[in-house]
Amino acid sequence: MMEQILDVAELLFSKHGFHGVTLKDVAKQVGVHHTLLNYYFDDKQTLFDAVFARRAVVTIDRRMQALDDYERAAAGKPTVEGALHAFLDTDLDLYIQGGEGWKNYGAFGAQASNSPEGAEFMDKYFDPVVLRLIDILKKALPDAAEEDIFWGYHFVTGALMLTLARTGRIDKLSHGLCLSDDYEAVKHRMARFMAAGFREICEQRKQDRG
Amino acid sequence: MMEQILDVAELLFSKHGFHGVTLKDVAKQVGVHHTLLNYYFDDKQTLFDAVFARRAVVTIDRRMQALDDYERAAAGKPTVEGALHAFLDTDLDLYIQGGEGWKNYGAFGAQASNSPEGAEFMDKYFDPVVLRLIDILKKALPDAAEEDIFWGYHFVTGALMLTLARTGRIDKLSHGLCLSDDYEAVKHRMARFMAAGFREICEQRKQDRG
DNA sequence: ATCATAACTCACTAGTGAGTGAATTTATTT
DNA sequence: AAATAAATTCACTCACTAGTGAGTTATGAT
């Protein structure tokens, strides 16, 4: 039952955010009395956190593992694209293979990261992985200015977050050519797209200097 | 007074979203009785829409104008970077020069685009400009597959939305090296970064083919 | 000064939200 | 079958939200 509650909460929070969902909404969709949620979870915030925590550890561990593996495999010569592939694809694979639940979690996370509190809370979890990524990026771009790498990273997360947030929505613009839950398509493009961006702004800096 | 109400609503909605803000919150911060908001605006949704509408037209007009100007100036040979500069910088300039209000609006828009309803509502306004951009991008990349351009565009908005959404928050990760309201820094990097990405995924497609 | 209108407040209603503690049902053990 | 514990519902409280309509103050024209 607890799992079902988390599943529904995950879905609803991902669509409407923390304040846009009531415990009754969740309970109703689960088909259970709303006070049962207070039985399993102290309060609304606890439920929200539980939704996050349930899967956060998994993503983080996998990503960290993937980055470690990549760096080892690269044997001292990592590339931006390689690092980004490790960072992004590992996550995207989860959403591709993990079924409905993981897709909702992706959207949930993206939504949560939008509020100041949510972002701060999540950063606590994710910062180590991000720093690990940035560490590898620095090795791949030894001449790069630190700001450039950080800005590049911001662009990457932005793109990823938007993709995750829009899961399941139709892209009217492209007349359905791009489905926002077509993570295969994203996986196929994103790392390479972003790697080129990183290279470019480092190049730009050299030009600015010289 | 109406302006003050809109200003405060803009700020609060940008932080907490539609459901995270009560009319009392807004009224209190304006220093006015909460029922006054019902005097100026039919209901909460009307207020929200008014916040959006107040500035939306300005951005859209300016962007559309900038794209038109660019295409004319490019005289049949537009570049991806040029188009993106027109599209992005025009907006960023507004946030740079427009003062606090415009910065809040940026965050407000990014926040609003996160909910399904909000996104759909906004898309109605923004679709024409976006299609105009994509039109130019297609001319700049005549060999590109349509999906690639749409995906690239998604990455661009994602990065932009994240930047706008995080306005005013400190980036702990970079120890303050990147300030998310340092739009000058974004302006300096984003168009070029993204243009390189576009080029790359078109290149990739050629490789995939041949 | 007077009247009219705009700007704003007050007192209130109806409804909803989260949360509590007692009561009941369901499952588990003995 | 009885006893016990877990799972679930019920009846309720308290705080708060959006919104309404009547009332009040300020503003401005005549």
Closest by CA position to B13, among listed A97, A116, A39: A116
Ranges assigned E (strand) in chain A? none
Please, what's the b/e burial string for B81-114 (b: 16 or more CB within 10 A of its CB; e: otherwise)? bbbbbbbbbbbbbbbbebeebbbbbbbbbbbbbb
CA B5 → C1' D30, Å?
33
Partner B contacted by A179 (CB < 8 A): no
What contacts B97, CB < 8 A, 6 or more positions away?
Answer: none
What ranges in B31-145 are assigned the alpha helix state H?
35-40, 44-74, 80-84, 90-97, 100-112, 116-140
Q: Give the pLDDT confidence of B11-69 residue by residue, as tens digits.
A: 999 999 999 999 999 999 999 999 999 999 999 999 999 999 999 999 999 999 999 99
Q: How confident is the model at residue B203 (pLDDT cuts 50, 70, 90)?
A: confident
For nucleotide C6, give the residue with the nearest CA to its C1'. B39
Taking only residues 64 to 83 of chain A, the set having a beta carbon closer than 8 angstroms to any beta carbon of chain B reads: none
pTM higher than 0.85, yes or no?
yes
In this prediction, residue B122 carries a pLDDT of 92
Q: Give the pLDDT confidence of A193-203 residue by residue, as tens digits.
A: 999 999 999 88
Taking only residues 100 to 129 of chain B, the set having a beta carbon closer than 8 angstroms to any beta carbon of chain A reads: 110-111, 114-116, 119, 123, 127
- Measure in Å the smallest separation between the Cα of A95 and chain B Cα atoms: 18
Residue A145 DSSP symbol: -
Q: Give the pLDDT confidence of B137-175 residue by residue, as tens digits.
A: 999 999 999 999 999 999 999 999 999 998 878 788 888
Q: Give the pLDDT confidence of A166-196 residue by residue, as tens digits.
A: 887 878 888 888 887 889 999 999 999 999 9
Distances (CA, A) of A120 to A115, A123, A154, B42: 9, 5, 15, 35
At residue B84, the 3 state secondary structure works out as helix
Q: Give the pLDDT confidence of B85-122 residue by residue, as tens digits.
A: 999 999 999 999 999 999 999 999 999 998 888 898 89
Q: In this complex, do A199 and B194 lie within 8 Å of one another by their Cβ atoms?
A: no
Partner A contacted by B90 (CB < 8 A): no
In this prediction, residue A206 carries a pLDDT of 76
Q: In this complex, do B157 and A160 lie within 8 Å of one another by their Cβ atoms?
A: no
Q: How confident is the model at residue A142 (pLDDT cuts 50, 70, 90)?
A: very high
Would you say B61 and B125 are in contact if contact means Cβ atoms under 8 Å apart?
A: no
Nucleotides of C under 7 A from a protein CB: 7-11, 16-21
